[in-house]
Amino acid sequence: MTDYTPLLLSLKVAGISTIIVFITGVYAAYFLSRKKFWGKMVIESLFLLPLVLPPTVVGFGLLILFGKKGWIGSWLLEWFNIQIIFTWFAAVIASVVVSFPLMYQSASAAFNNLDHRMENAARTMGASEWKVFRTITFPLAWPGLLAGLVLSFTRGLGEFGATLMLAGYIPGKTDTIPLAIYFAVEAGQMEKATFWVIIIVALGFSTIMWLNWWGRRNVERYKNHSS
């Protein structure tokens, strides 16, 4: 009987990390796209750094932060008796860190390429900044935000290196699909590895197809409503 724990865990990790990344990435991109200050380029470079670093380096950095003797991990363990490493939440943290740059980059491009005349017109009519963002900025930027959403989810679904460093491989607890594939190959269980490869490819492909369809439908609906 096939154990579907890696599938359920991967969906949970990718789903939670995508929600976190979407909210933080959109906020960071919107804020920085509207501000000019010294050090902005440094902040953006730090946001995008995980894109160019090897996953093991990212994982090592997360261990320094969230390990039992890490800066954050030791504090959480001492004051709240919470251990991050070797838990499914560690996999979420790893997925957030590696997928955030993709969401931020897509959102930043979407906000920077907007025609701001509609936003300014709404402001002159007395609309609040939140209303301008909710009714004009966000819908206009949605195609770019959707691209970041798709990339973030699929990146979180396929994360391996940083997850292995921080969460380890504990069957039934931290065994996401990529880890299950790797250790199945290591054990010579090629049929099991092939099964999970087919699952993750099918899942990633269907997710991209569905989200693209859903995004196009909503963009067209917004355009029809606006006209």
Residue-wise pLDDT for 7-26, tens only, equals 999 999 999 999 999 999 99
Question: Does the model's pTM come out above 0.75?
Answer: yes
Go through 18-50 and write b for each residue having 16 or more CB atoms within 10 A of its CB, e for each that does not.
bebbbeebbebbbebbeeeeeeeeeebeebeeb
Is residue 3 scored above 90 in pLDDT?
no
CATH code, domain with 116 = 1.10.3720.10
Give residue 67's domain range.
Answer: 5-226
Mean pLDDT for 45-59 is 93
The per-residue pLDDT for 199 is 94
Residues whose CB falls within 8 Å of the CB of residue 77, separated by 6 or more in sequence, listed in order = 68, 83
Q: How many domains does the chain have?
A: 1
